[in-house]
Amino acid sequence: MTEYANKGTQIRFFNSMTRRIEVFKPICDDQTRIYSCGPTVYNYAHIGNLRAYVFTDTLRRFLNWKGQTVTHVINITDVGHLTSDEDAGEDKMELASQSMEKDIWQIAEYFTQAFKSDLSQLNVLRPTLWSTATDHIHDMIAFARVLEDSGVTYELATGLYFDTTKVPNYGSLALTPREGQEEGARVDPIAGKRNATDFAIWRRSPSEGKRQMEWLSPWGPGAPGWHLECSVMSMKYLGSRFDIHTGGIDHREIHHCNEIAQNQAYAGHAHSGANGWMHNNFLIDRSGKMSKSKGDFSTLSSLIARGIHPLAFRLMCLSTHYRSELEFSIETLAGQLVRLKRLVGAISSLSQQVESDSWMRIPAELGFSSGAAFTYPRTVLEQKLSPHGEKLLDGFDREMSEDLMTPRALPFLDETINHGQLCAEEKLRILASMDLVFGLKLFETRRCDLALRPKDASLSASEVEVLLEQRQQSRRAKDFSNADAIRNRLHAAGIEMMDGQEPSWEWRPLLR
Ligand SMILES: [Zn+2]
């Protein structure tokens, strides 16, 4: 562990289970084990889902920065679960297979790769382990047999069900108690279910027609219920008690309550899985722009196609605390692109002021993208900092340690850049250290990478940069007709000039 890792602010996280902010104490000293619920791979990931992985990645990077070795497991749900969390409705994977006229296994493989590619574009570190549901069917059957033997299940014609009255405090994680709630009117209730909150452990295939994905089991051919895989895989790889379980806030009400019930029935009541449960809030769209009819900004590739760099989306996520709703707007996103570009530009001019940049290559050598568990030695900061530098980094540490308060930690980047009493090299070392946590690739990205890629390809990114510069010169020289001609050319290429606006808005993608 590095010197810095041993000091600094005590980490405190909000635990959804206890509903308060608590001091974070890993079970094993300097090792943290995290399980994150992954996607069901029947479609491209929605940017609201991607927010969950930017959050988890920031959590992991910050723990690394504090000297923790993090073992991180994310699952891939490639067994279709149903269009409702309530075990009714149609199988999402089977539906995708029908509509895309592809084999269900091809669907799973295709969207798994698309998801991983999204994460890599968002600079999300590869987890220590990707665990795939279909690789664990036998483990799930064995787990379900233990549940059956312990008397918490019952069998119906449709499969094996968990009786949620058999575990104490079922659903205590949920914000909304579900007792007495009727199953949604949209889906058929399961005949014979004893309690509304009971859920499928094993879904038996319907007698008519064969499912594309099904396995033999003691309860007939079929597929595991969705909640089972997370209990089985988290326990297999992280143990029956690990440190943090993450997921979107929508998982808090049903999926995670069911995981906890399964864990308790399997391993004893003390074993609810994780010590800490952390949930990120929704990404919401008041503008309606994410809908297909109004332009469709719902996937990462749809943003990229409009000239938004994926790391601008990462920056947008970091600009709102993970437990708050993140309000999506394309204008905000365009503003974050400009902010990112300014940060990259400032760092590049600081770099020009220092003689050697050998230290800047260190982060890459640490294996940022390697899947192995590792700690970040504070190599970039081994040299002693000045009291001003210490103060900046301590401020950053304080905000991040308080339940990952990224919106209040981000301004430390600007404060460092603009600091009047630090030399360029010390600024760079501090910025590099902060970016280990933010993951914005401030040192690896070039300004031209962030330049807009005009849709009509008549202009290259560097040509755009040149035109922007020429336009500025024309304006300074009061040659407004030339400035206007350049503006029109840029406009045709999908770039809107933001003269007379907030100073940070030099230009943005033309929002159409
Ligand atoms: Zn899960």
Q: What is the pLDDT of residue 4?
A: 40
Cα of 38 vs centre of ligand 1, distance in Å, is 7
Ligand 1 geometric centre to CA of 230 (Å): 5
What's the CA-to-centroid distance between 398 and ligand 1, angstroms?
31
Tell me what the pLDDT averaged over the chain comes to. 84
**Per-residue confidence at 372, pLDDT binned at 50, 70, 90?**
very low
* 428 C-alpha to ligand 1 centroid (Å): 39
Rounded CA separation 229/237 (Å): 12
User: How far apart are the CA of 310 and the centre of ligand 1, in A?
Assistant: 26
**What is the per-residue pLDDT for 84?**
58
Q: What is the DSSP string of 435-477?
A: HHHH---TTT--HHHHS---TT-SS-HHHHHHHHHHHHHHHHT
49 C-alpha vs ligand 1 centroid, how far in Å?
Answer: 13
**How close is the Cα of 126 to the center of ligand 1, in Å?**
18
* Residue found under tokens 């699952």: 75
Distance of CA 129 from the midpoint of ligand 1 (Å): 15
User: Which tokens go with 177?
Assistant: 């108690």
Q: First and final CA of the chain: distance in angstroms?
A: 50
Distance 37 CA to ligand 1 centre (A): 4
214/81 Cα distance (integer angstroms): 12
Structure tokens at 55: 């959050």
* pLDDT tens by residue, 37-64: 999 998 899 999 999 999 999 999 999 8
The Cα 434–Cα 343 span in angstroms is: 13
> Is the pLDDT assigned to residue 505 strictly greater than 50?
no
Angle 428-432-434 from CA coordinates, rounded to 5° = 120
Q: Please report the pLDDT score of residue 353 as a whole number.
A: 87
Helix or strand or coil: residue 194? coil
* Residue 255 · residue 227 · CB < 8 Å: yes
CA 320–ligand 1 middle distance (angstroms): 24
The pLDDT, as a whole number, for residue 6 is 40
- Ligand 1 centre to CA of 39 (Å) is 9
CATH classification number, 292-447, choose in 3.30.2030, 1.10.287, 1.20.120, 1.20.58: 1.20.120
Measured in Å, residue 26 CA sits from the centre of ligand 1 at 21
pLDDT given at position 359: 52
State the distance from the centre of ligand 1 to the C-alpha of 244, rounded, in angstroms: 13
Residue with the bigger pLDDT between 397 and 429: it is: 397
Mean pLDDT of 498-512: 50
Å from CA of 42 to ligand 1 middle: 16
Q: Domain coordinates of the chain in residue numbers? A: 4-280, 292-447, 453-509
Structure tokens belonging to residue 460: 């290259």
Distance 246 CA to ligand 1 centre (A): 9
Kindly give the distance from the C-alpha atom of residue 36 to the centroid of ligand 1, in angstroms, as a whole number. Answer: 7
Expressed in angstroms and rounded, the spacing between residue 131 Cα and the centre of ligand 1 is: 11
Report how far Cα 227 is from the mean position of its chain's Cα atoms.
20
In this predicted structure, which of 42-56, 185-199, 334-348, 423-437 has the lowest mean pLDDT? 185-199
Closest of 122, 9, 23, 30 to residue 376, by C-alpha: 30
Q: How far is the CA of 40 from the centre of ligand 1 (A)?
A: 10
Residue pLDDT, tens place only, 222-258: 999 999 999 999 999 999 999 999 999 999 999 999 9
Expressed in angstroms and rounded, the spacing between residue 390 Cα and the centre of ligand 1 is 40
Q: Measure the CA–CA gap between 67 and 397, rounded to whole angstroms.
A: 13
**pLDDT bucket at 295, cuts 50 / 70 / 90:** low
Q: Specify the pLDDT at position 378.
A: 44
Among residues 501, 512, 438, 489, which one has the least CA distance to residue 65?
Answer: 438
Distance 262 CA to ligand 1 centre (A): 12
Helix (H) / strand (E) element for 204: namely strand 199-204
CA of 464 to the centre of ligand 1 (A): 45
| C-alpha of 253 from chain center | 19
351 Cα–ligand 1 center, Å: 44
Q: With cut-offs at 50, 70 and 90, classify the pLDDT of residue 284.
A: very high
Q: Report the range of poorest mean pLDDT among 52-61, 164-173, 246-255, 297-306.
A: 297-306
Q: How far is the CA of 18 from the centre of ligand 1 (A)?
A: 20
The fraction of the chain above a pLDDT of 90, given in percent, is 55
- Cα 194 to middle of ligand 1, angstroms: 24
Reported pTM? 0.86
CA distance 162 to 152: 6
- 361, pLDDT greater than 80: no
* Homologous superfamily of the 4-280 domain (CATH): HUPs (3.40.50.620)
CA of 271 to the centre of ligand 1 (A): 16
Separation CA 87–CA 412 (nearest Å): 47
Task: Report the pLDDT value the prediction gives residue 199, as an integer from 0 to 100.
Answer: 95
Reply yes or no on whether the pLDDT at 509 is more than 70: no
Give me ligand 1 centre to Cα 228, in Å.
8
Q: For residue 208, how far is its CA from the centre of ligand 1 (angstroms)?
A: 30
Q: How far away, in angstroms, is 76 Cα from ligand 1 center?
A: 9
The DSSP result for 279-347, as a single string, is: EE--EE-SS-TTSGGGT---BHHHHHHTT--HHHHHHHHHTS-TTS-EE--HHHHHHHHHHHHHHHHHH
> Which whole number is the average pLDDT over 313-342?
92
pLDDT at residue 3 in the model: 36
Residue 87 CA to ligand 1 centre (angstroms): 15
* 31 vs 495, residue with greater confidence: 31
User: For residue 247, how far is its CA from the centre of ligand 1 (angstroms)?
Assistant: 7
What single-letter amino acid sits at 324?
A: S
Residue in the structure block whose two tokens are 């993090």:
70
Query: For residue 54, how far is its CA from the centre of ligand 1 (angstroms)?
Result: 17
**What's the average model confidence in pLDDT over 169-188?**
68
Residue closest to 62 by CA, chosen among 415, 343, 432, 439 = 439
How far does residue 311's CA lie from ligand 1's centre (Å)? Answer: 26
245 beta partners: 35, 277
Per-residue pLDDT at 357: 57
CA–centroid distance, residue 178 to ligand 1 (Å): 19
